[in-house]
Amino acid sequence: MLTTEVKPKPKKRSLVFSFIKFCFFMFLMLTVIVAGAVIGVVKTFSDQLPEVGYHTYKPKLNTKVYDSNNAQIAEFHEVENRTEKVKMTEISLKLQQAFLAIEDSRFYEHYGIDFVRIIGAAVSNWRSGGIRQGASTITQQLARNAFLTQEQTFARKIKEILLAFKIEQKFSKQEIFELYLNEIYFGHGAWGVASASEIYFGKKPADLSLAEAAILAGLPKNPSRNDPFINPKKAKERQVLVLNKMAEHGFITKEQASAAKDMPLHLKTTKKEITRAPYFVEYVRTELINKFGPKKVYTSGLKVYTTIDLDIQKAAEEAFLNAKIYKDNPLDTHPTLQGALISLDPQSGYIKAMVGGRSYEQSEFNRATQAKRQPGSTFKPFIYTAAIQMGMSANSVMTDEPIEKVNPYTGKVWRPANYESRYFGDVTLKTALEKSLNSIAVKLLEKVGIQRVIDITHKMGIKSHLGNNLSLALGACDVTPLEMASSYGVIANGGIRVPPTAIIKVVDNEGNVIYDPGYRGEKVLEPETAFVMTEMMRGVIEQGTGTSAKIGRPAAGKTGTTNNYIDAWFVGFTPNLVSAIYVGNDDRKPLGSGKSGGRTVGPVWREFMLAAVKDKPVVDFKEPANITKKQICRETGLIACETCTNKTLQSFKRGLEPESMCSHGAPDEGIDDYFVNQDGEKIIIDYTESEEGEVSEAGDEITVETEDAGAFDPNAVAAASPAEKKQVASVKVGGKPAPSSEESDDEEITADGEEE
Ligand SMILES: [Zn+2]
């Protein structure tokens, strides 16, 4: 017998034992609670489940789409042969197997829910640290598509599971599969395999080839993303996946799979309904389907009020197709030479015009919203915005000179050169932006901090990934034209970001407003930052690389040309309209030497904007309260002296205007006005009015500080050191006051015919 008082061991054992007992008890309790909850949930939701049966169809109502002036631009309706049901025997075995392989390989083994797959998916999601894999069975998808709404709620998910069990009880597997194949959505208003076979291939489902069957089976998961008309590449990837799965499950051999992969696809060339603003209409259709599900969009008679302005749209299409580069390279001989134009109202975010390519009939791929291209120098304003936002000013001086950067990880040397390797010595930020100087963009990005620039760029509306790398200074990232227009819109709109909007409201068949995004503006920049940036970007059009875009009213913008002339951009704005245009080959072949943003796209932007604002009053950018204006010497960035010959009126955030004054334009008089002290600093004798309006005594000494070369001090007065002064002088001695923009753009040459 164990004597408990002597040995501690048994006590320990009993402790362990009670712990096990406790755990077992807790487990029992939990089981009871969970079971109770499950029963309760099942009970509650069972009562709400719809009747399962071969349901009858209600009359279908078309959805109508209107422009901003309430003119109808499109009508959405389902494909006509929707009610033509096909029997299982009329559906080729290959098509059935394609669906089983990609959607539900254990369909004939489970009872509506595939627990094996749910656990598998859970494990793989846990491993990949996110929800990547779903585990909806064919029965669940049928439940969702035929009987439930598309909303993504927990309640709907539970109903879907319960309904799946109910369907499995009521129908045989063959019946379920047949219902599913007749019910599932394939895009373009096509439900069921019969409609889909007709729409995509002009065939009956019995006549589809293996390659075609794999395309169709790849669609229901995401009909718009995998749309073979719009995204042939994605559709192909999905087809290959389906074929691989079919081989994996032994439905076909590997040889059959690879033969099908190599088979060229012949999509049905339909006479598509020519709608006005076709790219925009498709954009709206996708947005509606994502919001409401295809059934509601195609059959419930919605009225959709959109932002597009058909007059501006017409101007956009005309100007875009009129581009010289397109005239010189007709579409039938140069089908990959494409581009996009997108125009928004920066104050409301309303999309006013959208051109996604040269011809919707030829290619439905919407380059305005889907093409990811390098923005080149049109990225630079984000860097300058970050610099202005943190306290630099348009006249802060930096030295334009050859630079090289060593990648600390790879040891590779990078030499981002200016256009034709021309350098200008000391320049103000405004001049650097106007001339699109690459070396300054890189130095500024480094000075401001890459992460800070990335953050501000995202805030302004670039959603695409931005690499933490100095090459970002030259626009080494991939963005859509819509992102560019929308984020420049923040500058146009005084620092307030309004997300791009296509749909103003949606009204249902009974007149209820079922969607209205309302105003969603958000302040992301100081209004003074936006104003200073606007002024700098006006300079780009007035005397920089973008003179081909002059429209004779206040406008600001930026040119962009990527390496080897692959993409040419112009993005710019008036106070009421911001427009981004790019031209480039779909296969990223170079456009050809000299095909720069300023030369190729600037004139297109100009023609479009002139037409778009033709009947609108001339509006200037609104000046915020804390702005001071000063006459500034272009070469030194200082207050212009009385005799300075190269000056400009410039805006500053109050308190950041320079205090000292330049001293050139009158060398004979100015000769005694400065001296160099023992520290090598230039001391200027100031004899002008001080800010308070008092005339300073002659002899007042003002130290011209050298520009801080190391740590950034936003309050430092931008000025030039004596050494830098010499460089300026040497540039000036060259003759012309400032080298003209034609020769000086970074990688750009502006139009030879700079008429204005
Ligand atoms: Zn001067």
Confidence of residue 719 (pLDDT cuts 50, 70, 90): very low
* Residue 732 CA to its chain's centroid (Å): 42
Confidence of residue 149 (pLDDT cuts 50, 70, 90): low
657: pLDDT strictly greater than 50: yes
Look at the alpha carbons of 149, 151, 155, 156 in this order and tell me if their dihedral is positive or negative.
positive
pLDDT at 708: 29
Cα–Cα distance measured from residue 212 to residue 264, given in angstroms and rounded to the nearest whole number:
10
pLDDT at 36: 77
43-57, 580-594, 618-632: least confidently modelled range: 43-57
C-alpha of residue 539 to centroid of ligand 1, in Å? 18
250: pLDDT strictly greater than 60: yes
Q: What are the tokens at 333?
A: 């001989």
pLDDT at 295: 84
Cα–Cα distance measured from residue 652 to residue 531, given in angstroms and rounded to the nearest whole number:
9
Per-residue buried b or exposed e for 280-307, using 16+ beta carbons within 10 Å of the residue's own CB = bbbbbbbbbbeebbbbbbbbbbbbbbbb
Distances from the Cα of 408 to the Cα of 135, 416, 466, 469, 749, angstroms: 45, 16, 19, 11, 34
**What is the chain's Cα-based Rg?**
33
Cα–Cα distance measured from residue 365 to residue 359, given in angstroms and rounded to the nearest whole number:
10
Q: Which of 103, 168, 282, 483 is catalytic?
A: 103
E strands of 517-671, at which residues?
Answer: 522-523, 556-561, 567-573, 578-585, 627-633, 647-653
* Residue 527 CA to its chain's centroid (Å): 23
C-alpha of residue 672 to centroid of ligand 1, in Å? 16
C-alpha of residue 643 to centroid of ligand 1, in Å? 8
C-alpha of residue 517 to centroid of ligand 1, in Å? 52
Cα–Cα distance measured from residue 230 to residue 215, given in angstroms and rounded to the nearest whole number:
13
Residues with CB under 5 A from ligand 1 (ion): 633, 644, 662, 664
pLDDT at 147: 73
Q: What does the pLDDT look like over 204-238, one tens digit per residue?
A: 999 999 999 999 999 998 888 899 988 888 999 99
C-alpha of residue 422 to centroid of ligand 1, in Å? 22
691: pLDDT strictly greater than 50: no
496-500, 542-546, 666-670: least confidently modelled range: 666-670
Confidence of residue 755 (pLDDT cuts 50, 70, 90): very low
245: pLDDT strictly greater than 90: yes
39-43, 359-363, 475-479: least confidently modelled range: 39-43
Active site (annotated) includes residue 160: no
Percent over 90 (pLDDT), the chain = 53
Q: What are the tokens at 703?
A: 């130290």
For 84-113, what is the mean pLDDT? 89
C-alpha of residue 664 to centroid of ligand 1, in Å? 5
Provide φ and ψ at 166, rounded to 5°: -65, -45
Q: Which of 377, 439, 487, 548 is catalytic?
A: 377
- Determine the Cα angle at 728 with ends 740 and 661, to 5°: 105
For 349-360, what is the mean pLDDT? 97
Cα–Cα distance measured from residue 95 to residue 723, given in angstroms and rounded to the nearest whole number:
77
C-alpha of residue 732 to centroid of ligand 1, in Å? 11
Provide φ and ψ at 585, rounded to 5°: -80, 140
Cα–Cα distance measured from residue 545 to residue 644, given in angstroms and rounded to the nearest whole number:
24
224-228, 482-486, 633-637: least confidently modelled range: 633-637
12: pLDDT strictly greater than 80: no
Cα–Cα distance measured from residue 149 to residue 442, given in angstroms and rounded to the nearest whole number:
52
Q: What does the pLDDT look like over 340-349, one tens digit per residue?
A: 999 999 999 9
C-beta of residue 504 within 8 angstroms of C-beta of residue 306: yes
Residue from 465, 404, 393, 462 nearest 431 by CA? 393
**Beta pairing, strands 556-561 & 647-653:** unpaired
51-55, 586-590, 607-611: least confidently modelled range: 51-55
540: pLDDT strictly greater than 70: yes
C-alpha of residue 663 to centroid of ligand 1, in Å? 6
133-137, 333-337, 623-627: least confidently modelled range: 133-137
- Considering 157-166, 327-336, 704-713, the range whose residues carry the highest mean pLDDT is 327-336
Partners of 406 in beta bridges: 413
Q: How many CB atoms lie within 10 A of CB 111?
A: 12
Cα–Cα distance measured from residue 145 to residue 143, given in angstroms and rounded to the nearest whole number:
6
Residues 6+ apart with CB under 8 A from 261: 211, 239, 240, 243
C-beta of residue 76 within 8 angstroms of C-beta of residue 189: yes
Residues 6+ apart with CB under 8 A from 362: 331, 335
Cα–Cα distance measured from residue 420 to residue 437, given in angstroms and rounded to the nearest whole number:
11
C-alpha of residue 316 to centroid of ligand 1, in Å? 43
Cα–Cα distance measured from residue 714 to residue 396, given in angstroms and rounded to the nearest whole number:
9
**Beta pairing, strands 513-515 & 351-355:** unpaired
pLDDT at 293: 86
Report which secondary-structure segment, H or E, holds 262: helix 254-262
Cα–Cα distance measured from residue 337 to residue 358, given in angstroms and rounded to the nearest whole number:
8
Partners of 629 in beta bridges: 651
* Residue 19 CA to its chain's centroid (Å): 57
pLDDT at 271: 54
Cα–Cα distance measured from residue 299 to residue 88, given in angstroms and rounded to the nearest whole number:
26
698: pLDDT strictly greater than 70: no
Look at the alpha carbons of 707, 708, 710, 714 in this order and tell me if their dihedral is positive or negative.
negative
Confidence of residue 267 (pLDDT cuts 50, 70, 90): confident
Confidence of residue 25 (pLDDT cuts 50, 70, 90): confident
Task: Give the HSE-up count for residue 504: Cα atoms under 13 Å, Cβ half-sphere.
Answer: 16
For 499-505, what is the mean pLDDT? 97
Partners of 338 in beta bridges: 584
29: pLDDT strictly greater than 70: yes
Residue from 309, 350, 310, 343 nearest 503 by CA? 350
pLDDT at 13: 62
307: pLDDT strictly greater than 60: yes
Look at the alpha carbons of 294, 295, 296, 298 in this order and tell me if their dihedral is positive or negative.
positive
3-class secondary-structure state, position 306? strand
pLDDT at 687: 38
Number of H helices, E strands in the chain: 24, 21
Q: What are the tokens at 114?
A: 């595939």
Q: What does the pLDDT look like over 425-437, one tens digit per residue?
A: 988 899 999 999 9
Given the candidates 3.60.21.10, 1.10.3810.10, 3.30.365.10, 3.30.1450.10, the CATH classification of the domain at 84-270 is 1.10.3810.10
Q: What are the tokens at 353?
A: 């015009």
Active site (annotated) includes residue 377: yes
Place of tokens 């509006």: 619
C-alpha of residue 393 to centroid of ligand 1, in Å? 17
Domain residue extents for the chain = 84-270, 627-744
Helix intervals (H) in 371-517: 380-389, 429-434, 438-448, 450-460, 481-492
Q: How many CB atoms lie within 10 A of CB 467?
A: 12
Place of tokens 């928004």: 344
Which residue pairs from 14-21 have beta carbons closer than 8 angstroms and sit at least 24 positions apart in sequence? none
Q: What is the mean pLDDT of the chain?
A: 83
Which of the two residues, 684 and 252, has the higher pLDDT score?
Answer: 252
Which of the two residues, 562 and 79, has the higher pLDDT score?
Answer: 562
Q: What does the pLDDT look like over 370-402, one tens digit per residue?
A: 999 999 999 999 999 999 999 999 989 899 999
